[in-house]
Amino acid sequence: MQPFPHHYRAKVKSDAGGELSDLTSPGLADHHVAPPAEFGGTGAQWSPETLLTGAVVSCYVLGFRTIAGASKLNWTAVECNVLLTLDRVGHAMRFTVLELDVALVVPDARRAERAVRILEKAKEDCLITNSLSAEVTLRPRIEVRES
C-alpha cells in the first residue's frame, strides 16, 4: 500500500441540452451519469446516489475479502445487498440509513461465528461507510456448504 494521503480524481462534462453527463477518471472507462428517477431522471443510468451505493457495497466486499484473507478464513462466496436511504433532515437532504444484507457461504460450520466477526470487522473498517453520517446496520447470514 502507498503512504497516505491518497488522491483520487474524477471529472464530469455536460452540455445544457441533454440529461446525460460524462463521468471520467484517468485510466478508467467513462460512464454516463444522470439524475435518478426520484429526481426526474429516467432511472436508466448511474446517478450520484447509485454510484455512492455502489461504492459502499464495493468497499465493504473488497474490505471483507482483505480481512478474510489476512484472517485465513475459508469461505466460498459472498453476496452483499445495500439499501441506502436518502431523507430530508431539517432543510438538508442526507443519507440517513445504510443497510448491509450479507450472505456468506463457508465450508465448515465450526467457522460460522468467526465469519460473522470478520463481516462485522469489514463493516467497522469500511472507509466509505465511515465517511457517511448514516446509521449503518449489518445483517449477516452464514450458509454452510460442506465440500
Helix and strand numbers (H, E) in the chain are 3, 6
* Co-location of 101 and 136 in the same domain: yes
Name, in order, each residue with C-beta under 8 angstroms of 25's C-beta and a sequence gap of 6 or more. Answer: 8, 9, 10, 11
**C-alpha distances in Å from residue 100, one per residue of 21, 89, 126:** 29, 22, 12
Range of the domain at 12: 1-46
Question: What is the b/e burial string over 9-37, where b = at least 16 CB atoms within 10 angstroms of the residue's CB?
Answer: eeeeeeeeeeebeebeeeeeeebebbbbe
**Same domain, yes or no: 29 and 96:** no
CATH number at residue 87: 3.30.300.20
Q: Number of folded domains in the chain? A: 2
> Is 87 in the same domain as 15?
no
pLDDT digits (tens, 9 = 90+) for 106-145: 999 999 999 999 999 999 999 999 999 999 999 999 999 9
User: 27: alpha, beta or left, given left = phi > 0 and alpha = psi -120 to 50?
Assistant: left
Q: What percent of the chain has pLDDT over 90?
A: 93
Same structural domain, 107 and 139: yes
Does 57 have pLDDT greater than 90? yes
Look at residue 21 in the predicted model and tell me its pLDDT: 86
Write the pLDDT tens digit of every residue in 36-52.
999 999 999 999 999 99
pLDDT at res. 17: 78
pLDDT at 19 over 80: no
Cα separation of 119 and 132, whole Å? Answer: 19
Per-residue confidence (pLDDT) for residue 20, from 0 to 100: 78
At residue 101, the pLDDT reads 98
**Euclidean distance between CA atoms 63 and 137, whole angstroms:** 16
Q: β-pairing, 135-144 with 92-106?
A: parallel
Provide the mean pLDDT of the chain: 95
pLDDT classification of 18: cutoffs 50, 70, 90: confident
pLDDT at position 10 is 96
Task: Give the domain-ending residue among 46, 63, 81.
Answer: 46
Q: If you average pLDDT over residues 79-97, what whole number do you get?
A: 97
> 96 and 86 in one domain?
yes
